[in-house]
């Protein structure tokens, strides 16, 4: 299983703590240190749609120039922006053998990991 996120994000911290407490093994991918490939973003887009992981509630999106926000009209536009500004990806991203989830919800985690 792979977890994508940013180490100083409170939601990522909660998710990682939950995984540790429930003895779920994972590999962590830090967006800030490692970035994210266009291929991976395209994979997520095909599986879930970029709207699921473009975080419009976060500070990074809110601080964007209105013209930049308005320019996001297609998945290609969104993915290009997300690759440049990984802080706008809803976190954490959980990949587990075809399972893909964005964010932290203890009930969802319990159901998926049968804990």
Go through the chain and tell me how many residues it has.
115
Asked whether the bond before 92 is cis by omega within 30 degrees of 0, the reply is yes
9 is known as an active-site residue: yes
Choose the catalytic residue: 3, 5, 9, 79.
9
Closest CA to 90 of 21, 46, 41, 43: 41
- Rounded to the nearest 5 degrees, what angle is found at the Cα of 106, between the Cα atoms of 103 and 109? 75
Q: Give me the active site residues, please.
A: 9
């Amino acid at each position: 299983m792979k977890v994508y996120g940013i180490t100083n994000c409170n939601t990522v911290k909660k998710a990682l703590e939950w995984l540790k407490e429930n003895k779920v093994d994972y590999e962590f991918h830090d967006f800030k240190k490692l970035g994210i490939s266009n291929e991976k973003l395209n994979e997520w887009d095909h599986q879930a749609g970029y709207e699921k992981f473009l975080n419009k509630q976060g500070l990074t999106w809110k601080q964007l120039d209105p013209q930049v926000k308005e320019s996001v009209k297609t998945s290609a536009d969104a993915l290009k922006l997300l690759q440049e500004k990984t802080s706008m990806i809803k976190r954490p991203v959980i990949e587990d053998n075809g399972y893909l989830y964005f964010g932290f919800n203890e009930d969802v985690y319990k159901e998926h990991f049968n804990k």
